[in-house]
Amino acid sequence: MVNPDGYPDYCLRCIECGKEYDIEDIYLCKCGGLLEVYIRGADISFKLDGNLEGVWKYGSLLPVKTNPVTLKEGSTPLYRCRRIEEMLKNAGVNVSVYVKHEGANPSGSFKDRGMTVGVTKAIELGKKAVACASTGNTSASMAMYAAKAGIRAYVLLPAGKVALGKVAQALMHGARVIGIKGNFDQALAIVREICSSEGFYLLNSVNPFRLEGQKTIAFEVVDEIGVPDRVILPVGNAGNISAIYKGFKELERFGLTESIPKMCGIQAEGANPVYRAVKSKKEDIEPVLNPETIATAIRIGQPVNARKAIRAIYESNGVAEQVSDEEIIEAQKLLASKEGIGVEPASAASVAGLFKLAGKGVIENGERIVCITTGHLLKDPETVINICGKPVEVEASVEAVRSAL
Ligand SMILES: Cc1ncc(COP(=O)(O)O)c(C=O)c1O
Ligand SMILES: [Zn+2]
């Protein structure tokens, strides 16, 4: 069987020197530049008709030729957030706000969109094992899809710095989980070497096929509401912002849309290399050596996709912003208690960023804005208990409960 919607004519292309490759089992150009999948041509068989059917609805723009390894990822809800709109209106900013909740994917994060394509590519290339470094969600998702595909999964994590729910997922789905006494950036450097010596397929976002799955976030947004004016999302290793931008660009290139939203990347103050680079109008980052933030998913000091992400921001007339841990927690609480959307801390950075940008006068009245919330509340229960405290305990009697109401 094959990709049910057919597949496009594509190659891998270097974002630095433009060299094209028809081989697929590589992650970087000979010049050291990042690769992206370049779709040369496609017979687009889907319609942007508001009917979401998951990632593989867009199979005619996805570069795999085999039967997909799928857990029915995608089709995530896009919520209109009237209470947040009201708050912004009271501050003088009149906009429409939507939240696309990627926490509703099978493993609870947007990574599933990438993994359905990445693990399918691993099978297509005949790989027997996949591997990644992870701040948690990548490992949970990769382990899940590797289980579905029936191949081995190896995971490197920064020991003690990964939210509990994510480790639990990777373990239960059967991955070999190894904690290193170091940070994510070090874990990634190690796993890259291990993959090349052991022949494992690397499924970090330096893998261009994984990002192809993630571009379907853009497709779904357009499917439901057309092209928004602005997309705001958290940035860690900077793959997702690059992927979503690519999705919008492709729709425009194939004549399905006529504009591109401003791509706005939000980082935590303690892990902000992309923010710093954009602020000083540079094309590349200077690494943050000891990244720190409560939002462990984006605790990354040396994002591999920084050059792609920074281009996405410049080319779309977007911005980069930073938010404090306090602002992240406030936004997490707001989403959960006023909109009914339960997200993990990193995801809340998008909404914290929205308020920050509104406060700075960056956002114009009338804009339609989509914030991407990348992971589910249950990923990080420990942080939640630290923020909210434990439930009160009382005697098992009606009077005791009544007095505790
Ligand atoms: C919940 C969550 N949000 C945001 C990110 C950052 O995404 P990216 O690394 O593609 O920038 C991650 C990455 O692990 C994540 O798990
Ligand atoms: Zn090159």
pLDDT in tens, 91-125: 999 999 999 999 999 999 999 999 999 999 999 99
Task: Tell me whether residue 90 is exposed, middle or buried, using C-beta atoms within 10 angstroms of its C-beta: 0 to 12, 13 to 18, 19 or more.
Answer: exposed
pLDDT in the model for residue 13: 98
The answer to the question of residue 257 being in a domain is yes
Judging by DSSP bridges, how do beta strands 319-323 and 368-373 pair with one another? Answer: unpaired
Over residues 226-270, the pLDDT tens digits come to 999 999 999 999 999 999 999 999 999 999 999 999 999 999 999
* Residue in the structure block whose two tokens are 């909109």: 339
Q: Can you tell me which atom of ligand 1 is nearest the CA of 134?
A: 14
Query: What does the pLDDT read at residue 69?
Result: 98
Q: Please, what sign has the CA dihedral across residues 317, 273, 300, 358?
A: negative
Nearest one of 37, 370, 98 to 218, comparing CA atoms? 370
Say how far apart CA 200 and CA 304 lie, in whole Å: 19
Domain of 378 in residue numbering reads as 78-108+210-387
* Nearest atom (ligand 1) to Cα of 239: 10
**Is the separation of the CB atoms in 262 and 330 below 8 Å?**
no
CATH, residue 310: 3.40.50.1100
Return residues with CB closer than 5 A to ligand 2 (ion): 14, 16-17, 19, 29, 31, 33
CA of 236 to the centre of ligand 1 (A): 5
Evaluate whether residue 135 is within a structural domain. no
Q: Is residue 214 part of a domain?
A: yes
Q: Is residue 154 part of a domain?
A: no
* Domain-located, residue 56: no
Q: How confident is the model at residue 2 (pLDDT cuts 50, 70, 90)?
A: low
Mean pLDDT, rounded, for 179-201: 96
**Residues whose CB falls within 8 Å of the CB of residue 335, separated by 6 or more in sequence, listed in order:** 99, 341, 342, 343, 348, 351, 373
pLDDT recorded at residue 6: 82
pLDDT at 187: 96
- In what helix (H) or strand (E) does residue 21 lie, and over which residues does it extend? strand 20-21
131 domain residue, yes or no: no
User: Which residue puts its alpha carbon closest to atom 6 of ligand 1?
Assistant: 236
**For atom 14 of ligand 1, which residue has the closest CA?**
297
pLDDT classification of 63: cutoffs 50, 70, 90 = very high
**Percentage of the chain surpassing pLDDT 90?**
99
Residue 259 lies in a domain: yes
> Which atom of ligand 1 approaches the CA of 265 most closely?
11
Above 80 in pLDDT, residue 288?
Answer: yes
Rounded distance from Cα 32 to ligand 2 centre (Å):
6
Overall number of domains in the chain: 1
316 assigned to some structural domain:
yes
